[in-house]
Structure 1
């Protein structure tokens, strides 16, 4: 392969590597304004998230959900840019994955610690408050809180609370047990700290300044095969039983949540007035009747064009590109994943059809195997475009389908669901084969 062809593939591969767009420098050139089109403009997540912040009096709280790889983090960065550009807003965007272990159950105690700690750290990092090396944000304050309430955590002599909170499950368990009788005091202390921070920002930047906290990555929380249900239940408990503790005076907050939370707890938005819940759907490439939605295909063409010369990879005609777009189901990460798999297999340009087929087969295998019981349910979702929930006790299985995007969520007026196109035929064939086996049984 020619040197210039290898350079083309290398640059294209790097461009389709899935990373949030932070709208800094040349990074913003990768963004395709999906919601500038008439079909999608009513569902622009930045507009829908910004309005309660702009219209509410002093404070608001909202939940923002989306599948992993759906572009949710990019939209949060766009929201920060949008609000910051208006002058009266100081916006901090925090990644909670830097503060808590998202493969373990989450408790209101460690979540509040993470929120307060992340908020203080971000205000200093963004320059909204002076970076005073003699102060450690909420972490030092919490140490004082422990002494004031006579709670002994002497095992932290060699490691800080911030580090232990993320890396030491036994510490989190100990902390939760010892704090069980002091939750009210902790909530009061965290709220006093947050209010104090907001007051200082207003004193520094003007009394009309509104402070916004965006908390990303909570949708990443998932357990292992051994504790997935426990982890999911802990998230439901956090955002429902403790919803009142997640509101702060004089602060606008947007929490990201996993998409299964909306399924596990219907009408969740009533707990988070006035903002409620916003869910970022997959980009529609077919409608619920199976007809191709051309505007969706055109948007994906624009998206890939912003990353590289797709004609140089696939050839001049759009047939192959549109095939990849349809197979992605409009899930942005899977769309880019198909391209990265084609690029890594390319040995000449444009690539032959066999290379594209091999790449599709590889990405498809990453969804497999599927148990017969799951295939039966997924087939119902594919044919009804609803969740087709057999029994309430199986909600956790539905949450797993959404979390792994075996099932995708769409919205065009009403919300609807479909099986990921990469496995739709596999699911159908598996259900038919299982039915044949059952028919032969005595």
Structure 2
């Protein structure tokens, strides 16, 4: 068996001869087209509309949009997925659809938590709602023809600071700075000033109902302004909250802070306008109401491990959108191109970000075409990070059971903590056919330690499932 995990990743065909080194400028251009951390807009020529192929179990833009389009009352949705699965692209598609004058004609407010929050520290309801109010105010102002920067001095935001100042003298000093014209606002301070952030949280903790009522009243007034513009209402899409993960030392309290505000129906996050929040993937298995929509991987193998050709075809298209076919022939060799892409698709487990990241790694090589032995070596190296997470988890017998059963069942606090960590680190991947199921990342599938679950793991009574 190959050390990569699956025995049939790589065929034995190796193209004869080598091409001259690729021209540097061209190589550099291709390299920068393969940034795995760059979210693509729906109109980006590198973007692939995956869901017309049925390889993720649903058409996800439609799935997310229909509840908001059909409901006459405000909807609160939770959405998650591993980083790099196309979640942000789906949210941008959703924003375009919901704002379409021929459809729901909503004024769409898109917030990127990565830009406005410190995602390495614990989160609080005050952080989320203050930013919701600020960004909604900004977008309404822009729609009215105003300047987005005036949101810091417009009435809703000034009233928020006035409310905070009445209950805390120190926070009032920040409010005075804003009144004096300084461009200092809650958005900047919540991300960069832990003292202000903590003080705001303490004020809200003493008066949670009053704070929530204030935000709701202001949002209703902002929606009335949207109606005057001919919009049917407002929808807020709060993206990137799924990136809340803390550091190696703080990931658990950070995740627990997210659970506190999103669990038990997320009562304080339900708004008088439509809203969608992304949440950390590890929370999806803990949530009952509202249900969490989880963006799955591209299915390259089915639950029984059989090759799913449609999924491999989608990965092939994804690769060709990043690197043109002539360049791919040069990088992999024309006769071996199909097999090389198939090997990458199977190793990735249908994880789009892994495919793009691996392309980046291969473009860093100095010799082309990439033969079977070189590709296998690079796949193995890329899998080292996943195998390290498995060893560090201390839950190898439990993970062996996940591999065998394709279910995420935990029977102890240790297993629940391991599940959280392994989901957050992409070791466990989620899929959707008619039913949801999980599998381990292919790079750990061949580990000897996962070959057979321990007797204790086999006999454990399930407590909680996907």
Contact 1:264 1:395 in 2 (8 A): no
* Partner residue, 1:172: 197
* Partner residue, 1:416: 437
Query: Secondary structure of 1:268's partner?
Result: coil
Q: Residues 98-117 of structure 1 correspond to what in structure 2 (within 5 A)?
A: 98-117=115-134
Of the three residues 131, 135, 142, the one matched with 1:118 is: 135
Of the three residues 10, 35, 52, the one matched with 1:36 is: 52
Structure 1 stretch 280-289 or stretch 137-146: which is displaced more?
A: 137-146
Task: Verify: 1:304 aligned to 2:327, yes or no.
Answer: no
Q: Residues 107-256 of structure 1 correspond to what in structure 2 (within 5 A)?
A: 107-125=124-142, 127=143, 130-131=146-147, 134-136=150-152, 137=154, 138-149=156-167, 152-154=170-172, 156=174, 160-204=185-229, 206=230, 209-241=232-264, 243-249=266-272, 251-256=273-278
* Partner residue, 2:346: 326
Aligned-partner Cα distance in 1 for 2:69–2:430: 28
TM-score normalised by length of structure 1: 0.87
CA gap 1:140/1:291 in 2 versus in 1, 3 angstroms: same
Aligned-partner Cα distance in 1 for 2:333–2:97: 37
Q: Deviations over 1:178-216 (max 9, x none)?
A: 332211111111111111111111112x1x523221110
**Shift of the alpha carbon at 1:298?**
0.5
**Shift of the alpha carbon at 1:341?**
0.6
Contact 1:165 1:171 in 2 (8 A): yes
* Partner residue, 1:338: 358
Q: Deviations over 1:251-302 (max 9, x none)?
A: 211111111111233x232xxxxxx421100111111111111110011111
**Shift of the alpha carbon at 1:431?**
4.8
CA gap 1:53/1:128 in 2 versus in 1, 3 angstroms: farther
Q: Deviations over 1:102-126 (max 9, x none)?
A: 111111122211222232234445x
* Partner residue, 1:257: 279
CA gap 1:39/1:368 in 2 versus in 1, 3 angstroms: closer
Aligned-partner Cα distance in 1 for 2:318–2:158: 45
Contact 1:372 1:430 in 2 (8 A): no
Aligned-partner Cα distance in 2 for 1:177–1:255: 23
Of the three residues 375, 389, 412, the one matched with 2:396 is: 375
Aligned-partner Cα distance in 2 for 1:430–1:226: 26
Contact 1:96 1:218 in 2 (8 A): yes
Contact 1:263 1:399 in 2 (8 A): no
Contact 2:91 2:237 in 1 (8 A): yes
Q: Deviations over 1:131-168 (max 9, x none)?
A: 27554155433212123445542563775432221112
* Partner residue, 2:422: 401
Task: Verify: 1:81 aligned to 2:96, yes or no.
Answer: yes
* Partner residue, 2:303: 288
Aligned-partner Cα distance in 2 for 1:148–1:154: 7
Q: Deviations over 1:297-316 (max 9, x none)?
A: 01111111111123332122
**Shift of the alpha carbon at 1:375?**
2.5
Contiguous gaps of at least 5 residues in structure 1: 270-275, 436-442
* Two-structure CA RMSD over aligned residues (Å): 2.5
* Partner residue, 1:23: 42
CA gap 1:119/1:394 in 2 versus in 1, 3 angstroms: farther
Task: Verify: 1:385 aligned to 2:375, yes or no.
Answer: no
**Shift of the alpha carbon at 1:405?**
0.5
TM-score normalised by length of structure 2: 0.83
Contact 1:99 1:118 in 2 (8 A): no
Q: Deviations over 1:47-67 (max 9, x none)?
A: 011101110104211111111
CA gap 1:288/1:165 in 2 versus in 1, 3 angstroms: same
Structure 1 stretch 294-303 or stretch 30-39: which is displaced more?
A: 30-39
**Shift of the alpha carbon at 1:247?**
1.8
Of the three residues 26, 29, 33, the one matched with 1:8 is: 26
Aligned-partner Cα distance in 2 for 1:402–1:390: 17
Aligned-partner Cα distance in 2 for 1:236–1:129: 38
**Shift of the alpha carbon at 1:349?**
3.0
